[in-house]
Amino acid sequence: MTVSSPEPRAILESFIVDNVDLEELEAKLAQFNIFEAIGVVRQEIRHSNFLAFLLNPSQNHKLEDVFLKRFLKRVLLEPYEPEDLKYLKISPVDIDIADFSDVEIRREWKNIDILIQSSSNKLVCAVENKVDSSEHSNQLEKYREILEEEYKDYQIILIYLTPDGDEPSQKDWRAYSYSKLVEIIESICTSYKSTLGTDIYTLMTHYSTLLRRHIVSDSKVAELCRKIYKKHKQALDLIFEHRPDLQLEMSERITNFVNQYITSHNLYVIRWSKKYIDFGDIEWENKKLPLAFHFENGNSYLITRLLIRPCEDKTVRERIHQISRENSKVFKSKKLTNQWTTIYQKTILNQSDYENADVDELMEKFQLFWDDFVKNDFTKIQSIFHTNMDRIVTSE
């Protein structure tokens, strides 16, 4: 006998009716959180700002150096095998007895997320904070070299802070996780509740809640999510399959938007897809110029570029590239390659714009960009290439 699979409607009904775990999860997520309200959830810069606030003994959180010392001592207790043994010289005991009244906390010094420096203790510490991003361009090696050059007679602590304590590419950096960081915050809230005052206590508990909801993978919220998914996999997969696709909606709206300007600005759409929308000046097409404006529509960013397209006529491409170099106030030309070459680029929307935003809010920001773009840069670019058209397409 063949057993038929449940209908999609029955699967969804089973998911939403008398689902105790789902109700518990919704109750936890429904609790007001200051950091969620102001859109800090996954913004690395904001997390670094708040950590710098807690680490700074001179700030008005009334903790003095409690958080700073507890953080450094816990980090130093973690297993650690650096390539250079000089990084093993400092111990948790050294931190415990140190006088940190002269500590300076710097943000983005030499691009380092958080720098902790104490002249009296000859100690400097770098914290590289990663929430959603990862290492790039050998940055850890570069930061280590900067500190060794700038603080030659100092003891150096290098901390690589990530949600799950990922291993850094450079062994001299110490891996530390947000799950351990949140334990420090919660232990201080418990021990120093009366000292902190209501406002700072509330702020710190809201921050620890934010981390457990969104950043830490071993939290109660994460455990509930895994439990619900395991029990209701079919329903959740069905919901995910039919979820709103913001990237696709943005692509469709931008394409429709550009189409409105086809006649008034002599445009035509070259290519349309979920991630890429290419359009150009109709005269460029008539003269077979390998030029195209291009929107790159990512999951959490939107960029526009002017590109020299690949084509067989290398001379035409070289002339276009030379004209862009001659007009450096408008163009920022990269080296000409045989492939797509960018000669103009602007970021329209970035990750922070996408935090808790819907397609209408994003398109409002796009409208502001477009209004300025068509009045200024777009008009200048059209004029430059129209003026130099004979020079580009000449057969000489």
Q: What share of the chain is helix, strand, coil (3-state, %, to 5)?
A: 50, 15, 35
- For 91, residues 6+ apart whose C-beta sits below 8 A from its C-beta are 76
Long-range CB contacts (< 8 A, 24+ apart) of 137-145? 138/169, 139/111, 140/168, 140/169, 140/170, 140/173, 141/169, 141/170, 143/110, 143/111, 143/112, 144/170, 144/172, 144/173
The three-state DSSP-derived secondary structure of 22-68 is HHHHHHHHHCCCHHHHCCCCCCHHHHHHHHHHHHCCCCCCCCCCHHH
Stretch 82-110: mean pLDDT, rounded?
Answer: 94
- For 210, residues 6+ apart whose C-beta sits below 8 A from its C-beta are 33, 35, 36, 40, 41
Stretch 234-261: mean pLDDT, rounded?
Answer: 76
CB 56 within 8 A of CB 67: no
12: pLDDT strictly greater than 70? no
136: pLDDT strictly greater than 90? no
- Tell me the pLDDT band of 212, cut-offs 50, 70 and 90: confident
How many other C-beta atoms can be found within 10 angstroms of the C-beta atom of residue 141? 15
How far is CA 217 from each of CA 164, 182, 231, 289, 357, rounded to the nearest angstrom? 7, 12, 19, 52, 24
- For 117, residues 6+ apart whose C-beta sits below 8 A from its C-beta are 103, 104, 106, 123, 124, 125, 151
The predicted-structure confidence for 362-382, as pLDDT tens digits, reads as follows 999 999 998 898 889 988 998
pLDDT for residue 38 = 72
Stretch 263-287: mean pLDDT, rounded?
Answer: 81
Concatenated DSSP letters of 339-390: S-EEEEEEEEE-HHHHTT--HHHHHHHHHHHHHHHHHTHHHHHHHHHHHTHH
- Tell me the pLDDT band of 288, cut-offs 50, 70 and 90: confident
6: pLDDT strictly greater than 70? no
1: pLDDT strictly greater than 50? no
pLDDT for residue 219 = 58
Q: Which residue has the higher pLDDT, 75 or 197?
A: 75
3-class DSSP assignment, residue 157:
strand
Sign of CA dihedral 41, 43, 44, 46: negative
59 by Cβ neighbours in 10 Å (0-12 / 13-18 / 19+) ranks as: middle
Stretch 254-272: mean pLDDT, rounded?
Answer: 77
174 by Cβ neighbours in 10 Å (0-12 / 13-18 / 19+) ranks as: buried
Stretch 195-204: mean pLDDT, rounded?
Answer: 91
List residues bridging with 159 in a β-sheet.
127, 174
- CA 374, CA 213: separation in Å to the nearest integer? 43
Stretch 273-281: mean pLDDT, rounded?
Answer: 84
- What's the mean pLDDT when you consider all of the chain? 85
3-class DSSP assignment, residue 308:
strand
Stretch 350-363: mean pLDDT, rounded?
Answer: 84
Where are the extended beta strands (E) located within the chain? 104-109, 112-118, 123-129, 155-162, 174-177, 267-272, 276-281, 291-297, 302-308, 341-349
The structure tokens listed for 78 are 């973690």
Sign of CA dihedral 136, 140, 141, 145: positive
pLDDT for residue 58 = 94
263: pLDDT strictly greater than 90? no
Q: Which residue has the higher pLDDT, 279 or 227?
A: 279
CB 163 within 8 A of CB 215: yes
Q: Which residue has the higher pLDDT, 313 or 218?
A: 313
Stretch 318-347: mean pLDDT, rounded?
Answer: 87
pLDDT for residue 26 = 62
10: pLDDT strictly greater than 60? yes
pLDDT for residue 2 = 47
Stretch 281-306: mean pLDDT, rounded?
Answer: 87
- CA 344, CA 393: separation in Å to the nearest integer? 21
Stretch 238-260: mean pLDDT, rounded?
Answer: 77
The predicted-structure confidence for 15-36, as pLDDT tens digits, reads as follows 666 667 666 656 666 677 787 7
The predicted-structure confidence for 104-119, as pLDDT tens digits, reads as follows 999 999 999 999 999 9
- Tell me the pLDDT band of 3, cut-offs 50, 70 and 90: very low
240: pLDDT strictly greater than 70? no
The structure tokens listed for 388 are 């130099």
158: pLDDT strictly greater than 50? yes
Phi-psi group of 112: left, alpha or beta (phi > 0 → left; psi -120 to 50 → alpha; rest → beta): beta
pLDDT for residue 18 = 63
pLDDT for residue 105 = 97
Stretch 178-203: mean pLDDT, rounded?
Answer: 92
Considering the entire predicted model, what is its pTM?
Answer: 0.55
